[in-house]
């Protein structure tokens, strides 16, 4: 038997446990991960800069930045159209396109920019999708989006799907709505974290030789993860609209 103070000390340690170290900011009494917000603002600034460059001098025959941004728009439009169909893709294109571009920018920012050269008092700069809070927030936004899609089209009748095709499937259908954001968030978080850990370990063991191909593989994997996340988000919205 252990004394009572042993159990109280154990639970206190578990409650204070953290995954990694973070540079915290205190904003209105809330502790936020400062290094994540800095990189997110950087990614948003890059995306806004590209948008400005691509739309400041619109021409009938696109060239330069306008041509590049129109190719990007065509790509995200195809993602939305393939999943949502001609009837709904225009309405949901801004959401699906923003998801893809934001995740794509975050993944590339973590894979291309040498953030580790910048030292912080605690933690380190990395891809925002390397933080579980970011990926969970994106997954919850996706969940809210497909609930809104279903309720806006079918009203409260949307909840009939939980007892279809038979009422016996009610628990399974409810569980499905909980597993969707979990799978979205942990898939993205796990892949980005594994890529960065692999590069860190290999850089420490064999500098400049093996890490370069792994880095290119990480860039490719980050692009694929952005495509998968946005495609699944569009598919979930399409499912709610059926």
Per-residue model confidence as pLDDT tens digits over 64-116: 888 899 999 999 999 999 998 888 888 999 999 999 999 999 998 888 877 67
Least confident of 73-77, 95-99, 134-138, 189-193: 189-193
Say if residues 99 and 233 touch (Cβ distance below 8 Å). yes
Distance CA 22, CA 169 (A): 42
pLDDT of residue 7: 40
Please, are residues 150 and 158 in contact by the beta-carbon 8 Å criterion? yes
Residue 139, C-beta contacts closer than 8 angstroms, at least 6 positions apart: 180, 181, 182, 184, 185
Alpha-carbon distance 4 to 124, whole Å?
A: 38
**pLDDT mean over 157-179:** 78
**pLDDT-derived band of residue 1, with 50, 70 and 90 as boundaries?**
very low
pLDDT of residue 76: 93
> What is the helix (H) or strand (E) element at residue 26, kind and residue range?
strand 24-27
Examine residue 165 and say whether the peptide bond preceding it is cis (omega within 30 degrees of 0): yes
The pair of structure tokens assigned to 8 is 């109280």
pLDDT band at residue 170 using 50, 70 and 90 as cut-offs = confident
Question: How far apart are the two ends of the chain, measured CA to CA in Å?
Answer: 59
Per-residue confidence (pLDDT) for residue 21, from 0 to 100: 66
Q: Which of 110, 119, 125, 129 is nearest to 186 (CA)?
A: 129
Q: Which residue has the tokens 């495509």?
A: 227
pTM to 2 decimal places: 0.82
Question: How much is the pLDDT for 89?
Answer: 87
The whole-angstrom distance between residue 145's C-alpha and the CA centroid of its chain comes to: 14
The pLDDT assigned to 123 comes to 67
In DSSP terms, 33 is beta-bridged to: 24
Closest C-alpha among 37, 45, 209 to residue 126: 37
Residue-wise pLDDT for 14-35, tens only, equals: 334 445 566 777 777 777 777 8
Position 140 scores a pLDDT of 92
Place of tokens 């040498």: 114
**Residue 32 belongs to what H/E stretch?**
strand 30-33
3-state secondary structure 69-130: HHHHHHHHHHHHHHHHHHHHHHHHHHHHHHHHHHHHHHHHHHHHCCHHHCCCCCCCCCCHHH
- What pLDDT does 210 receive? 62
Measured at the CA of 113, the angle between CA 109 and CA 119, to 5 degrees, comes to 110
């Amino acid at each position: 038997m252990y004394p009572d103070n042993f159990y109280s000390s154990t639970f206190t340690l578990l409650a204070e446990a953290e995954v990694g170290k973070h540079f915290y900011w205190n904003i209105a009494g809330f502790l936020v991960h400062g290094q994540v917000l800095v990189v997110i603002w950087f990614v948003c600034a890059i995306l806004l800069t590209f948008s400005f460059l691509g739309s400041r001098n619109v021409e009938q025959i696109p060239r330069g930045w306008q041509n590049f941004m129109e190719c990007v728009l065509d790509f995200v439009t195809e993602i939305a159209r393939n999943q949502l169909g001609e009837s709904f893709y225009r309405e949901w294109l801004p959401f699906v396109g923003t998801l893809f571009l934001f995740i794509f920018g975050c993944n590339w920012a973590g894979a291309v920019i040498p953030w580790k050269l910048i030292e912080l008092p605690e933690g380190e700069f990395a891809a925002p999708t390397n933080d579980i809070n970011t990926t969970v927030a994106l997954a919850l936004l996706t969940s809210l989006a497909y609930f809104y899609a279903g309720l806006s089209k079918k009203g409260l009748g949307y909840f009939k799907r939980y007892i279809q095709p038979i009422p016996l499937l009610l628990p399974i259908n409810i569980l499905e709505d909980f597993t969707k954001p979990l799978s979205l968030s942990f898939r993205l978080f796990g892949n980005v974290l594994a890529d960065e850990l692999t590069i860190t370990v290999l850089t420490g063991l064999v500098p400049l030789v093996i890490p370069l191909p792994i880095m290119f593989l990480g860039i490719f994997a980050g692009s694929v993860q952005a495509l998968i996340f946005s495609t699944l988000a569009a598919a979930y919205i399409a499912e709610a609209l059926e």
